[in-house]
Structure 1
Amino acid sequence: MDWLNDVVAPLNQALFELNGHAVTWAELLGFVSGGLCVWLTMRASVLNFPVGIVNCALFLVLFMSARLWAGAGLQIVFIVLGAIGWWQWRRGQVADVPVRTASPLLLAGCLAAVVVGTAGLTVLLRAADDVSPFWDALTTALALAAQWLLNTRRIATWYFWIAADCIYVPLYASQGLYLTAVIYVLFLGLCLNGLRLWRSSAAGTNATPSTVAA
C-alpha cells in the first residue's frame, strides 16, 4: 500500500498552526469543499453529490490521522451513499420528487437506527482505541440517518444534520481540530438555513430551492 501512502502524504502536510495544532491540506481543503457542498445541498443542487464525495475523501484522510475511526469509516459510507444519490438524482428518480416531510414511521425507524447504531458502534470503537468512542458513534449514527433522508429529499434530514453538528463542534475542538470545528459551525448555520428553505419549498412558497441538473 505504499502507493496509497504516497497519495495521502501531501494531504497530511502541515500548512500552519492554529492554537498550537497543525492545520493540514486535508483539513483546509475539507473546509472549502464542505462549505460548498452544504450550500449546494441547501439549494437542492445535484452538484452537492460530487463535491460531497471529494469532501468525504479529504475528511477520511483527516479523521484517520486523528484516530476518529467511526468518523473515518463514515466517510466511506458517505462516498457510497453520495454516489447512489447522485445516480438517483441524475436519472430523475429523485430529481422530480418534491421536498417533503417524513412519515412518523420513517422518523421512528431512523431514531431507532440511531440508538442501536450508537450502542453497537460504541462497543466496537472502545475496542479499537478510538479517542472518543461514544460521541464518535453517536455522530456517525446521526449522520447516516441524515444522509438516508437527504437522498429522498425529506425535510427531517436537516434536524439530524443539526443534531450531529452540535456534537461535532465540541468533539473536534477537543481533539485540536479547530479549523474543522469552525467548519461545522458553518455547516450548522447552513443547515439551519437549509431547513428554512426546504420547509418553505414543501409549503409551496416563493422560497423554493432550485434543482440544478448538471
Structure 2
Amino acid sequence: MSGLVEWLAALTSALGVWLMGRRTMWGWPVMLLASVLYGVVFAQDHLYADAALQAVFALLALYGLWCWWRGVQHSGQVRIAMPTAQTLWRDTGITAVAGLAMGLALRAMTDDPMPLSDASLSAYSVLGQIWTAKRYRACWVLWIVVDVLYTLLFVQRRLFVTALLYAAFVGLAIQGWRQWRDKPARTP
C-alpha cells in the first residue's frame, strides 16, 4: 500500500510543480494534496523532518494561494516579484541556522538516519516554498539545488520512486526558471 501512496504522491507533486511553472493558481490545491500524501510516505520511512515539512507545505499551499490570488494579471498568469539581494541573503542565512538547529535536535531526539541532511533540505524547502508563494523567480534556482540533493538522499534511503520524482523536479525547476521570465516589479 505504501508503494501505491508513494506513486500517487509523486504524480500529484509533479503535476503541482508543472502547474507552478506555468504560473497557474491550480498548482496550490494540487500541492496541498501532494503534501498530505507525502506526509504519510515520509512518516512511514522515519524521515521525520520531511514528514513535518509536508504539514508546513500544506499550510504554505494555503498561503501561496492567497499570495498568488493577489498577484494575478489580467492574462490569468501570476506577476513575478523581484526581491532585493539583501532579502535573498538574509533569508538564506536564517534558513541555514534553522536547518542546523533542527538537524541537531533530530540527531538528539530521533532515529533519523541522516538528521543534518534531512533538516537542512527541509529548511531550504520551506524557504523555496515561501519564495514561490512570494513569486520570486529566484525560487527556481533554490529548487534546482534542493531537488538535486533530495534526489541523492532518496536514492540512499531506497525511495526510488521519490528519487525519480525529484530528478524530474530538477527539469521542471529549470523549465520554471525559463517560464518565469518577464518584467518583475521590485519588492522589499
Counterparts of 2:20 and 2:183, CA distance in 1? 15
Query: What is residue 146 of structure 1 aligned with on the other side?
Result: 128
Q: Which has the larger radius of gyration?
A: 1
Counterparts of 2:7 and 2:133, CA distance in 1? 27
Residue aligned with 2:113, SS: coil
Greater displacement, 54-63 / 123-132: 123-132
Tell me if 1:98 matches 2:75.
no
Tell me if 1:43 matches 2:22.
yes
Counterparts of 1:38 and 1:28, CA distance in 2? 15
Tell me if 1:179 matches 2:179.
no
CA deviation profile, 1:79-136 (whole Å, cap 9, x unmatched) = 001012213333xx22246213221111011111221111111111112121210110
Tell me if 1:72 matches 2:54.
no
Unpaired segments of 5 or more residues in structure 1? 1-12, 15-23, 204-214
Residue type at the aligned position of 1:183: L
Task: State whether residues 41 and 48 of structure 1, in contact with CA within 8 Å, keep that contact through their aligned partners in structure 2.
Answer: yes
Query: What is residue 172 of structure 2 aligned with on the other side?
Result: 190
Query: What is residue 97 of structure 2 aligned with on the other side?
Result: 116
Query: What is residue 62 of structure 2 aligned with on the other side?
Result: 83
Residue aligned with 2:182, SS: helix
CA deviation profile, 1:172-209 (whole Å, cap 9, x unmatched) = 011110010000011110001100111x2237xxxxxx
Across the aligned residues of Structure 1 and Structure 2, the Cα RMSD in angstroms comes to 1.4
Task: State whether residues 80 and 135 of structure 2, in contact with CA within 8 Å, keep that contact through their aligned partners in structure 1.
Answer: yes
Counterparts of 2:81 and 2:54, CA distance in 1? 26
Unpaired segments of 5 or more residues in structure 2? none
Query: What is residue 5 of structure 1 aligned with on the other side?
Result: none
Task: State whether residues 150 and 166 of structure 2, in contact with CA within 8 Å, keep that contact through their aligned partners in structure 1.
Answer: yes
Residue type at the aligned position of 2:37: L
Aligned counterparts, 1:130-169, within 5 A? 130-169=112-151
Counterparts of 1:178 and 1:169, CA distance in 2? 9
Instruction: Count residues in correspondence.
Output: 179
| Pairwise CA distance, 1:138 | 1.2
Q: What is the TM-score of this pair, normalised by structure 2?
A: 0.91
Residue type at the aligned position of 2:18: W
Residue aligned with 1:155, SS: coil
Deviant stretches of 4+, over 6 Å: none
Tell me if 1:125 matches 2:109.
no
